Amino acid sequence: MYKKEVKIILSPAAKEVFRYLNKESVNSKNERTLLKSIKQKMEFIKENPQYGNPLSKKLIPEEYKIKYGITNLFRVELPNFWRMLYTLTEGESKIEVISFILDIVDHPNYDKKLRYK
């Protein structure tokens, strides 16, 4: 069990995908499966903030560095080749860790963001 409280915050882009999945999951098995997996992975991150695969600093998209000032990036694999990307920061109180979910993306957009070919 992790000693510090772990708070999960979604970026506006991640919130948008999360809302979409919530809405569409009523009628779509794919969206329902993806949403269930995202919720499960968020719980795993609360238990262990370093649950995801750490990515090399050189792979961190400039967009994230500029927009959020991040210095670390973790990837969590989701069903149907989707990915969830998050960063960790200290909370204001130093007794919490913030897991900031930056993106929930399909594989082609993930490859594009991380400049994979």
pLDDT at 12 over 70: yes
d(CA 74, CA 21): 22
pLDDT at position 90 is: 79
Could you read off the pLDDT of 44-101 as tens digits, one per residue?
999 999 999 999 999 999 999 999 999 999 999 999 999 999 999 877 666 678 899 9
pTM above 0.85, yes or no: yes
Q: 10 Å Cβ neighbour count for 94?
A: 8
Sheet holding 74-77, edge to edge: 5-10, 96-105, 83-90, 74-77, 53-54
Residue 24 has pLDDT above 60, yes or no: yes
Q: What is the DSSP pairing of strand 83-90 with strand 96-105?
A: antiparallel
Token look-up 């949403």 returns: 35
What CATH code would you report for 5-113? 3.30.2310.20
